[in-house]
Amino acid sequence: MCGRFTLNTTANEITRQFEVEVNEAISPRYNIAPSQQILVIQQKEVARSLLMMKWGLIPSWVKNLDSWKSNLINARVETVGEKPSFRSAFKHRPCLIPTSGFYEWSKDKQPHFFRLKDHQLFALAGLWESWSNGEDELVSCTILTTKANTEAAKVHHRMPVIIQPTDYDSWLGELNHRKQLLDALPEVDLELYPVSKKVNSPKNDTPDCIKPINSD
């Protein structure tokens, strides 16, 4: 699964990597948690746009938010095209979620931080949905997960789907292209290390969250 991630970058870097206009400064985040508002990139006709969405997808068919108890922060690639909660978003509403890294927990509850070996900004595969009761509107999203690759499997059996820059257009484009990407996800060079259990609490959102626990 993917239950926490980070975004420590600049507006210029997001513009460069994702070819999207950024109109304000990006505050560094080291412990982004479910239900919080996160930065999401979606395709708007011929251009990409950057906006904030609630992390935890709410299907459009939900009648009442007070009675909706599910927290759909992740969608499995194996069933995303079939489950009622995700299949419409998978067909029509893909998105990219920029990140600097993510966390996973081992069986002994030890958190680990994962990032690309080159420490570059990257994108997670996401889906978004718009819910409305006729008066209020809420836009939300979820992160896709897949079977862990060789490196990630040292800690957890699942990991978020990482989209390569060369595949951004394919992911944000036609459904068949998304299916093809998920059928043949490339191996990603990751590095990981254990971090403090401070990350267990969303109240802790500082650089200490990504500091190796064996670091001075």
Q: Report the domain count for the chain.
A: 1
For residue 122, is it left (φ>0), alpha (ψ between -120 and 50) or beta? beta
The pLDDT value recorded for residue 46 is 84
> What positions carry a catalytic annotation?
2, 104
The pLDDT value recorded for residue 59 is 95
Length of the chain: 216
In a domain, 154, yes or no: yes
The pLDDT value recorded for residue 216 is 46
In a domain, 172, yes or no: yes
CATH code of residue 173: 3.90.1680.10
Long-range contacts of 58-67 (CB under 8 A, 24+ apart): 58/129, 58/131, 58/138, 58/140, 59/84, 59/85, 59/88, 59/89, 59/129, 59/131, 60/88, 60/129, 60/130, 60/131, 60/132, 62/131, 64/133, 65/131, 65/133, 65/138
The pLDDT value recorded for residue 193 is 96
Distance CA 82, CA 111 (A): 31
The pTM assigned to this predicted structure is 0.96
The pLDDT value recorded for residue 118 is 93
143 within 8 A of 163, measured Cβ to Cβ? no
Nearest-CA neighbor of 124 among 203, 25, 53, 195? 53
In a domain, 216, yes or no: no
The pLDDT value recorded for residue 67 is 85
In a domain, 215, yes or no: no
Ordered per-residue pLDDT tens for the chain, 216 residues = 789 999 999 999 999 999 999 988 899 999 999 999 999 999 988 899 999 999 999 999 998 888 888 889 999 999 999 999 999 999 999 999 999 999 999 999 999 999 999 999 999 999 999 999 888 899 999 999 999 999 999 999 999 999 999 999 999 999 999 999 999 998 899 999 999 999 999 999 999 999 999 754
Domain that holds residue 137: 4-210
